[in-house]
Structure 1
Amino acid sequence: MTVPTFPADFLWGVATAGHQNEGDNVDSDTWFLENVTPSVFQDRSGKAANGWELWESDLDLVAGMGLNAYRFSVEWARIEPVEGEFSEDALAHYEAVVDGCRARGLAPIVTFNHFTSPHWFAGRGAWLDPEAPALFARYAGVVMDRFGDRIALAITFNEPDLPEMLTWARLPEFVVELERKTLEAATREAGVEKYRAANVMLREDFAGMRAGMTAGHRAAKAAIKARRDDLPVGLSIAMVDDVAIPGGEATRDRKRAEVYEHWLELARDDDFVGVQNYERYYYGPDGAVPAPDGATGLVGLYGGVEPDSLRGAVEYTYEVTGRPVLVSEHGMSTEDDSRRAGFIEPSLVGLKQAMDAGVPVLGYCHWTLIDNFEWIFGYGPKLGLHSVDRETFERTPKPSAGVYAELVREARGE
């Protein structure tokens, strides 16, 4: 294995998310949607990976890999389970996680909203509610007041562009219809006019939800900066590396305009922008096409079969925004860990090529530390560097964990 030397202050980490890891997030919109009938979620999250209880040993895993950063989310639904009432226990828990990171030499990268929101917020229509940005900013302020002085980077939203991106991902139409039926069932069961959530979104709501999250980002950033002006704030964008073969430029550019450009333009006013890349798509004159000869192409969502896609996504992001980039997620869904292990090195080589070409990159966070709950796909996809026993929750390192750790040592010149 050979990787070039990266800057000494480069952040090497893993990324996780509260609902996907912690378990028993019972006051959240996603928990509610998992448990209505019908539901688009293949599994219920339940205990997930029991990360709420096992957070200390999980931090030990991160530190044991020789990393220096940990990206995780604070769960709004835990912190404000009832509108206007903030949980001392939840705030104390997340404060302990932040302090646990620092004690292990890990920079805490905190995501304030990783898809999930409180059940009461969804009952108000989520980001369609005119008061949503102010409610989100209030919550962000409470978090900052408690431990904002000790975090390294703040991410307001995780992948707010994902609903639009998935319209290009060729999901079966029955999934779209099941999403609608899920929200209809939730609306009935909650007894509200319109139950809405960021990770189960109807196409007719795209514009309104986008506007709400845009205002929410600005409001939360203002609340964060009011308490700590020096804290870098950004958002993370789901980013396929879209490549045009001759004649496909118009299709590629239309996708970029529909999916990314709004958020990239918003990010121009931020301190950095998070890039979350898993795939590369190719486009010809008539739309998406198979990979050309010599390229490995796309194999399913989160397929991660084109290592150089990370470089392409990062370079495009910087070209549009002019802002420093954090690779806030990057990985592969596969049962064959040897593929994951072999995928990391060439991806990092491509990332360094982008940096050598002038793109400022703050760090790289691999998704994810442990196999977890992958939203509507349930427990099927495997993206972790560690496996998790579904009964005992024991974590077992996969070979890719050791490979990543060794690559980081090499990248530091150790």
Structure 2
Amino acid sequence: MIPHRASFPEGFVFGAATAAYQIEGSSFGGAGPSHWDTFAATPGNVKHADSGAIACDHYHRWAEDLDLVKAAGFDAYRFSTSWSRVMPDGVTINPEGLDFYDRLVDGMAARGLRPFLTLYHWDLPAALSDKGGWRNRETCHRFGDFTEEVIRRIGDRVETVATINEPWCVAWLSHFLGAHAPGLRDIRAAARAMHHILLAHGVAIERLRALGQKNLGIVLNFDHASPASDRAEDLRAAAVQDAIFNRWFAQAIFQGSYPDLALEGLAPHLPPRWQSDLPLIGQKLDWLGVNYYTRHIHAAAPDTAWPATREVPGPLPKTQMGWEIYPEGLQGFLTRLERDYTKGLPLYVTENGMANDDHADIPDTVRESFIAGHFQAAQNAIAAGVNLRGFFYWSLLDNYEWAEGYEKRFGLVHVDYNTQVRTPKASWHALQRALARN
């Protein structure tokens, strides 16, 4: 049974989350190509060579989708703006793109939904990717320009603003592991991206403050790093991965430094005078978004290059993504953030959810159980003193799941990609019951 709204603190925000490239349809509305379009067009990068060209056609069906958010009983909708839609070449304004987000935010207001804006959710304009993308320091300042244009247009109507979604995915997953656009496997590229994505956040926060924008934050993703054994080398392997995945971003933002365990491998490849950027990166925030899905188990791999670790399969039940279901990790990160970094700062769970091999007419009990377990973990964190203000399920809709194409389904609402028919799943109905105010 999913815990009821009444079992959370008064005013706790419940929402659903999406991302522009995953649902809008990049071929509509004058959007320019992003590096995800070109990554998907390269054989072998994305399952079935799927792209976000049509996705869920949210560009045209946004009103229907907002109706689903409202009907479920959610208070808020977390969405992102597409840089490639607003600035097709990364620089020049596309009025049609800004008009779309105008309509979208007005549509939320008309339904009593609170807009939680994320400025960047991974769709870098291809023209900027041509110039080095997140390896190039100049991209950070172009992101600042994009930030200003979006906020001048819709900033008066949004509840909160997040600069970046999941910088680990933007930098490490995409430039070191090569799993996401631009698909690089290069430690120098990764180190520069790891720093520049945080610098872009700092530039954006500075511009937002200058415009008088309120309620500013960033969305970080966290992955619980468990050692494969209690041997010293496996304990170190988990600590190194924790430093790369979790501590690099939180420590830079809240403590003004990078962890030594990560600098062991990355320091030789960071841009010159990177230390001088840390004050800009570490500007005061109004809240932090926490994305959490799973844990991974790490063992030492001494015969490989740094970080010299390898993943070990875990014993717990897994989602369609192969990720272990481990709600304890969410409680652990929320309490750890409160203790070590945020110290009373408002936190939101900005993404949590699971992929399943869903069809429109099958029971959805596994997802219901997943939500119940993670809601309980959130409640445990609140009871432990964490200033948790809200919880956003990922995702409202089945959508384009990046390198997995359309095969993996995270949605509360089933999408038939041939007809674009939306069908609420049993988990949507279960949440509707749990969020009912009577």
What is the alpha-carbon distance in structure 1 between the residues aligned to residue 322 and residue 250 of structure 2? 21
Q: Is the 8 A contact 1:332 1:340 kept in 2?
A: yes
Q: Which residues of 2 match residues 75-224 of structure 1 at below 5 A?
A: 75-162=82-169, 166=173, 176=178, 200-204=183-187, 205-224=189-208
The number of residues matched between the two structures is 382
Structure 2: runs of 5 or more not aligned: 255-283, 302-309, 359-363
SS for the counterpart of 2:382 is helix
Which of 380, 383, 387 is the matching residue for 1:353? Answer: 380
Relative distance call for 1:199 and 1:319 in structure 2 (3 A) is farther
Instruction: Describe the shift of the 1:35–1:348 C-alpha distance in structure 2 as closer, same or farther (beyond 3 A).
Output: closer
Could you tell which deviates more after superposition, 364-373 or 243-252? 243-252
Secondary structure, counterpart of 2:368 in structure 1: helix
TM-score (norm 2): 0.81
Q: Which has the higher mean CA deviation after the structures are superposed, 24-33 or 381-390? A: 24-33
In structure 2, the residue corresponding to 1:333 is in which secondary structure? Answer: coil
Is 1:270 equivalent to 2:270 in the alignment? no
Whole-angstrom CA distance in 2 between matches of 1:275 and 1:198: 22
1:373 aligns with 2:373: no
Question: 1:306, CA displacement in angstroms?
Answer: 2.2
Name the residue aligned to 1:320: 340
2:379 and 2:91 map into 1 onto residues whose CA distance is: 46
Q: What is the rounded CA distance, in whole Å, between the counterparts of 2:131 and 2:172 in structure 1?
A: 25
Deviation at 1:101, TM superposition (A): 1.1
**Equivalents in 2 of 1:302, 1:112: separation in Å?**
29
Deviation at 1:31, TM superposition (A): 4.5
CA contact (8 A) 1:318 1:324 kept: no
Where in structure 2 are the equivalents of 1:244-323 lying within 5 Å? 244=227, 246-247=230-231, 248-268=234-254, 269-283=284-298, 288-291=311-314, 296=316, 298=318, 301=321, 303=323, 305-322=325-342, 323=345
Give per-residue Cα distances to partners, 1:99-140, cap 9 Å, x unaligned. 111221111011111011112111111122222111111110
Shift of the alpha carbon at 1:266?
3.2
Are the aligned partners of 1:21 and 1:48 in contact in 2 as well (CA < 8 Å)? yes
Counterpart for residue 393 of structure 1:
420
- Between the aligned partners of 2:422 and 2:296, the Cα distance in structure 1 is 33
Tell me the CA shift for residue 2 of structure 1.
Answer: 5.7
| Range 324-333 or range 274-283, more displaced | 274-283
SS in 2 for 1:314: helix
Please say if residues 273 and 326 of structure 1, whose CA atoms lie closer than 8 Å, have aligned partners that are also in contact. Answer: yes
| 1:37–1:357 Cα change, 3 Å | closer
Contact 2:2 2:375 in 1 (8 A): no
- Residue 47 of structure 1: which of 26, 31, 54 is its match? 54
The amino acid that maps onto 1:277 is: Y
* Contact 2:347–2:388 (CA under 8 A) maintained in structure 1: yes
> For the structure 1 residues 147 and 328, does the alpha-carbon distance in structure 2 shift closer, same or farther, using more than 3 Å as the test?
same
Percent of aligned pairs with the same residue? 29
For residues 143 and 2 of structure 2, the distance between their equivalents in structure 1, rounded to whole angstroms, comes to 44
2:23 to 16, 21, 42: 21
Change (3 A) 1:33 1:7: same
Q: Is the 8 A contact 1:302 1:333 kept in 2?
A: no
CA distance in 2, matches of 1:164, 1:147: 28
Q: Assess if the C-alpha contact under 8 Å between 1:239 and 1:276 holds in 2.
A: yes
Q: Structure 2: how far apart are the matches of 1:326 and 1:140?
A: 22
Q: Deviations over 1:191-248 (max 9, x none)?
A: xxxxxx866343321111122111110011111111124x122221221123456445
Q: What amino acid is the match of 1:254?
A: V
| Deviation digits for residues 133-160 of structure 1 (CA, Å, limit 9, x no counterpart) | 1111111011111110111111111111
Is the partner of 1:276 in helix, strand or coil? Answer: strand
Structure 2 residue matching 1:351: 3-state secondary structure = helix
Distance 1:122-1:284 versus aligned 2 partners, 3 A rule: closer
Report if the CA contact (8 A) 2:223-2:246 is conserved. no
Alpha carbon RMSD of aligned pairs, Å?
2.5
User: Cα gap change, 1:238/1:74 in structure 2, threshold over 3 Å: closer, same or farther?
Assistant: same
- Identify the range of structure 1 (87-96 vs 373-382) with the bigger mean alpha-carbon deviation: 87-96
Distance 2:147 2:111 in 1: 25
* Partner of residue 333, structure 1: 355
Check whether the contact 2:17–2:77 (CA below 8 A) recurs between aligned residues: yes
- Tell me the residue number matched to 1:194: none
Residues 160 and 210 in structure 1, CA contact (< 8 A), matched pair in contact too: yes
Work out whether 1:38 is the aligned partner of 2:51: no
Letter of the structure 1 residue corresponding to residue 381 of structure 2: A
Residue 274 of structure 1 deviates from its aligned partner by 1.4
* Offset, 1:283: 4.8
Contact 2:171/2:194 (CA < 8 Å) preserved in 1? no
